[in-house]
Amino acid sequence: MGIAALRDNDPEAAQGPLEKAVVLEPRNPFALRTLGQLHLMKGDAPAALPHLRAAAAVAADDPIILFTYAQCLLAIEGESHEAEADALFQRALRLAPVGDLAEKIKNQQRRLADRVMRANAKGLPRMDAVMYLSSALEAYRGLDLAGQKQLLAEAAAVGQKGLAINDPQQMHQLRQYQGGATISALQVACVYYVGVQLLLPGQDAGIDFAREYELAKGMAGGGSQLP
């Protein structure tokens, strides 16, 4: 009855049956997850949290539950759950490494990394990102169009495996960048971001370096024009 009401776009009618289902079967992960999702739909993350936490406890290998639980943690205002949410995203991705859910997880991981990066910068532009973006602009200008596409594709491929941009110890090699340089995850993200701006304008790069990019264009000289 609860699911039928949700499919009929009637969350109010769904709540009562779902709450009763959880009382009748308190360890039913599907009922717990669905009730938690209902509260999230209504914008009440604190009410959703205990149901999703309970669902994750009884179905620790369900990537959808882990993903929803992580989203709920990040939706709670005034509290810091970034580390716990990141761990849940990583577990969910190991359980579902390919497919539509995997892409949703990766997208949320990028947004979480951006959120942590912004918090660490205390609202100011990240000057290390500005320098990396400026270097990336210069690197793209030094390549012909085919080389630019190869560099973007290589950065995208590395990013698909996950970039811990807030971990300075995570390093990656880009064969098309500066003669095969080994660079940080944040720098790979900057190379990818610049490539998207130059070759795929308007496409969401999954991370917001807009302020830093404007500064970088000024430092690189000549804006974002392709060679």
- Residue 164, burial from CB neighbour count under 10 angstroms (0-12, 13-18, 19+): middle
Pick the CATH number of 2-121 from 2.60.120.1440, 3.30.360.10, 1.10.10.10, 1.25.40.10: 1.25.40.10
Annotate 18-41 with DSSP letters as a single string.
Answer: HHHHHHH-TT-HHHHHHHHHHHHH
- Residue 159, burial from CB neighbour count under 10 angstroms (0-12, 13-18, 19+): buried
For residues 11 and 38, what is the distance between their CA atoms, to the nearest angstrom? 7
pLDDT in tens, 118-162: 776 676 788 889 999 999 999 999 999 999 999 999 999 998 887
pLDDT in tens, 43-83: 999 999 999 999 999 999 999 999 999 999 999 876 678 88
pLDDT of residue 220: 66
pLDDT of residue 115: 80
Sorted by sequence, the CB contacts under 8 Å of residue 91 that are 6+ apart come out as 63, 66
Q: Is pLDDT at 224 greater than 70 in this prediction? A: no
Q: Which band of pLDDT confidence, cut at 50, 70 and 90, is reported for residue 227?
A: very low
Q: Is pLDDT at 223 greater than 50 in this prediction? A: no
Q: Which residue has the higher pLDDT, 146 or 225?
A: 146
SS (H, E, C) 145-209: HHHHHHHHHHHHHHHHCCCCCCCCCCEEECCCCCCCCEEEHHHHHHHHHHHHHHHCCCCCCCCCC
Q: Which band of pLDDT confidence, cut at 50, 70 and 90, is reported for residue 226?
A: very low
Q: Is pLDDT at 15 greater than 90 in this prediction? A: yes
Could you give the percent of the chain with pLDDT greater than 70? Answer: 94
Annotate 89-102 with DSSP letters as a single string.
Answer: HHHHHHHS-SSHHH
C-alpha count within 13 angstroms, C-beta hemisphere, residue 226:
14
* Domain spans, the chain: 2-121, 127-220
pLDDT in tens, 165-196: 888 888 999 998 988 999 999 999 999 999 99
For residues 106 and 113, what is the distance between their CA atoms, to the nearest angstrom? 10
- For the record, the structure tokens of 19 come out as 């709450």
Q: Is pLDDT at 94 greater than 50 in this prediction? A: yes
Q: Which band of pLDDT confidence, cut at 50, 70 and 90, is reported for residue 107?
A: confident
Reported pTM? 0.65
